[in-house]
């Protein structure tokens, strides 16, 4: 699975949009981009995933560049409860392995 690079930490003001970047320059054509988040002392929570089209759900939007070498997770109106570590993961569907490989993620701190 391709490796991802994320900033270690980011701040965001409450009520503003949080834009979390992820680089995955070695992504393969059959690899999806997944985002999870982990709030302190809880297990990771699935947010969203995509292949090449932009995706939106009730939690967030995922913007994937045309060359698929990077993506951005957007939380449109961040709240204090969105303070968490956000993980960007790329993984092939149906490949030899079914595991998700987590990096160290981005610690998003939403400030009041």
Partner 1 sequence: DTGVSQDPRHKITKRGQNVTFRCDPISEHNRLYWYRQTLGQGPEFLTYFQNEAQLEKSRLLSDRFSAERPKGSFSTLEIQRTEQGDSAMYLCASSPANQRDYGYTFGSGTRLTVV
- Is 112 near partner 1 (CB under 8 A)? no
78 vs 85, beta carbon nearer partner 1: 85
The only residue of 49, 59, 63, 74 in contact with partner 1, by rule CB under 8 A: 49
Residue 60 CA to residue 47 CA, distance in Å, equals 7
Q: What's the token pair of residue 47?
A: 């947010």
Q: Are 2 and 97 in contact (CB under 8 A)?
A: no
- Is 86 near partner 1 (CB under 8 A)? no
- Is 105 near partner 1 (CB under 8 A)? yes
Q: Are 3 and 10 in contact (CB under 8 A)?
A: no
Please state the closest distance from residue 16 (CB atom) to partner 1, in A. 26
Which has the closest alpha carbon to 7: 96, 111, 109?
109
Q: Are 84 and 38 in contact (CB under 8 A)?
A: yes
The only residue of 40, 58, 81, 98 in contact with partner 1, by rule CB under 8 A: 98
> Which residues would be at the binding site for partner 1 (CB under 8 A)?
32, 34, 36, 41-46, 49, 85, 87, 93-94, 97-105
């Amino acid at each position: 699975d391709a490796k991802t690079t994320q900033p270690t930490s980011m701040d965001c003001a409450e009520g503003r949009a949080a834009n979390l970047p992820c680089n995955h320059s070695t992504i393969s054509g059959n690899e999806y981009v997944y985002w999870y988040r982990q709030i302190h002392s809880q297990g990771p929570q699935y947010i969203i995933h995509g292949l090449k089209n932009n995706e939106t759900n009730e939690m967030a939007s995922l913007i994937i560049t045309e060359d698929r070498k990077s993506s951005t997770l957007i939380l449109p109106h961040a709240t204090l409860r969105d303070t968490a570590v956000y993980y960007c993961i790329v993984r092939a569907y149906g490949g030899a392995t079914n595991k998700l490989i987590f990096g160290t993620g981005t610690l998003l701190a939403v400030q009041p």
